[in-house]
Amino acid sequence: MPEESQRPRFSLRALREDEKALDTRASLADLETDIDYRRTFHVIGRSVLFVRYVWLRYVISFASHLARENLTIVLAPWIGKILIDHVVLGAPVEDATGYPSFLVPAIEMLEGASVGAILFWVVLCSVAGLVASLAHGYVMTLFDTRLTQSIAHLVRCRLFGGVQALPMTKLDDQPIGDSVYRVVNDTRVIPDVIGTVLIQPVSAVFAFAVALVTLQSAYSDSPVVAVFAVGALPMYVLVIVPFSRMLRRRSQAVIAAQSAFTSNIEEGMDNMLAVQALGATATERERFRKDSAESFKRIRFSGLAFDVAGTLLEIATQVMVWGFTVYVVAQVIFGGFSPGDFVVVLGYFALMREPAEKLAYLWIGLQGDAARARRVFAMLDAPPEAETGRSALPPIEAGVSFRDVGFVYPDGRRALRDVTFNARLGQILAIVGPTGAGKTTLAYLIPRYHTASEGQVLIDGHDVNDVSLESLRGQTSYVFQETQTVNESILENIRLGKPDANTEEVERAARDAGIHDFIVGTPDGYDTLLGTSTSKLSVGQKQRIGIARGLLKDSRILILDEPTAALDPETERHVVGALREAARNRIVIIIAHRLSTVALADHVVFLDDGRVMEQGTHAELMDREDGNYRRFVDLQTESVD
Ligand X SMILES: Nc1ncnc2c1ncn2[C@@H]1O[C@H](COP(=O)(O)OP(=O)(O)O)[C@@H](O)[C@H]1O
439 is an interface residue for ligand X by CB under 6 A? yes
Residue 411 beta carbon to ligand X: minimum distance, rounded to whole angstroms? 5
Alpha helices for 503-584 (secondary structure H):
503-512, 516-521, 539-552, 569-582
CA distances from residue 456 to 275, 445, 448 in whole angstroms, order as listed: 43, 10, 11
Nearer to Mg ion (CB atom), residue 174 or residue 440: 440
What is the number of alpha carbons within 13 Å of residue 203 lying toward its C-beta? 23
Nearer to Mg ion (CB atom), residue 331 or residue 440: 440
Residue 601 beta carbon to ligand X: minimum distance, rounded to whole angstroms? 17
Residue 262 beta carbon to ligand X: minimum distance, rounded to whole angstroms? 23
From candidates 440, 476, 483, 543, binder to ligand X by CB under 6 A: 440
Nearer to ligand X (CB atom), residue 438 or residue 514: 438
441 is an interface residue for ligand X by CB under 6 A? yes
Tally of CB atoms within 10 A around 250: 23
Per CB under 6 A, which region of 147-155, 278-286, 430-438, 470-478 contacts ligand X?
Answer: 430-438
Angle, alpha carbons 226-231-236 (nearest 5°): 145
Q: E strands along 487-638, which residues?
A: 557-561, 587-591, 603-608, 611-616
Nearer to ligand X (CB atom), residue 340 or residue 433: 433
Nearer to ligand X (CB atom), residue 97 or residue 435: 435
Nearer to ligand X (CB atom), residue 156 or residue 439: 439
Side by side, the strands of the sheet bearing 587-591 are 476-479, 557-561, 587-591, 428-432, 603-608, 611-616
Does the CA dihedral 509-515-521-524 come out positive or negative?
negative
Nearer to ligand X (CB atom), residue 169 or residue 401: 169
Size of the site for ligand X (CB under 6 A): 13
413 is an interface residue for ligand X by CB under 6 A? yes
Per the rule left: phi > 0, alpha: psi between -120 and 50, beta: everything else, 211 is alpha
Residue 560 beta carbon to Mg ion: minimum distance, rounded to whole angstroms? 11
Nearer to ligand X (CB atom), residue 28 or residue 66: 28
Residue 481 beta carbon to Mg ion: minimum distance, rounded to whole angstroms? 5
| Burial class of residue 173 in the structure, from the number of CB atoms within 10 Å of its CB (0-12 exposed, 13-18 middle, 19+ buried) | middle
Per CB under 5 A, which region of 148-156, 432-440, 451-459, 580-588 contacts Mg ion?
Answer: 432-440
435 is an interface residue for ligand X by CB under 6 A? yes
Nearer to ligand X (CB atom), residue 170 or residue 542: 170
Write the binding mask 576 to 595 for ligand X: x where contact by CB under 6 A, - elsewhere.
Answer: --------------------
Sequence-ordered list of residues with C-beta below 8 angstroms from that of 413, at least 6 positions apart, any chain = none
Write the binding mask 12 to 51 for Mg ion: x where contact by CB under 5 A, - elsewhere.
Answer: ----------------------------------------
438 is an interface residue for ligand X by CB under 6 A? yes
CA distances from residue 113 to 54, 105, 592 in whole angstroms, order as listed: 50, 14, 101
Residue 443 beta carbon to Mg ion: minimum distance, rounded to whole angstroms? 8
HEC sequence for 159-205: HHHHHHCCCHHHHCCCCHHHHHHHHHCHHHHHHHHHHHHHHHHHHHH
Nearer to Mg ion (CB atom), residue 259 or residue 440: 440
The size of the chain, in residues, is 641
> How far is Cα 454 from Cα 418, in angstroms, rounded to an integer?
8
Per CB under 6 A, which region of 127-135, 186-194, 265-273, 435-443 contacts ligand X?
Answer: 435-443
Q: Looking only at residues 117 through 176 of this chain, which bind ligand X when binding is defined by CB under 6 A?
A: 172
Residue 561 beta carbon to Mg ion: minimum distance, rounded to whole angstroms? 6
From candidates 130, 133, 409, 531, binder to ligand X by CB under 6 A: 409
What is the number of alpha carbons within 13 Å of residue 190 lying toward its C-beta? 30
Q: Identify the helix (H) or strand (E) that includes residue 478.
A: strand 476-479
415 is an interface residue for ligand X by CB under 6 A? yes
Are 555 and 473 a contacting pair, CB within 8 Å? no
Nearer to ligand X (CB atom), residue 98 or residue 410: 410
437 is an interface residue for ligand X by CB under 6 A? yes
Residue 170 beta carbon to ligand X: minimum distance, rounded to whole angstroms? 10
Residue 255 beta carbon to Mg ion: minimum distance, rounded to whole angstroms? 35
From candidates 200, 440, 564, 615, binder to Mg ion by CB under 5 A: 440
Alpha helices for 54-185 (secondary structure H):
55-82, 104-109, 115-164, 168-171, 176-184
User: Which residue, among 287, 269, 373, 394, has the nearest Cα to 35 in the 3D structure?
Assistant: 373
Residues of this chain that interact with ligand X (CB under 6 A) are 172, 409, 411, 413, 415, 433, 435-441
Residues of this chain that interact with Mg ion (CB under 5 A) are 440
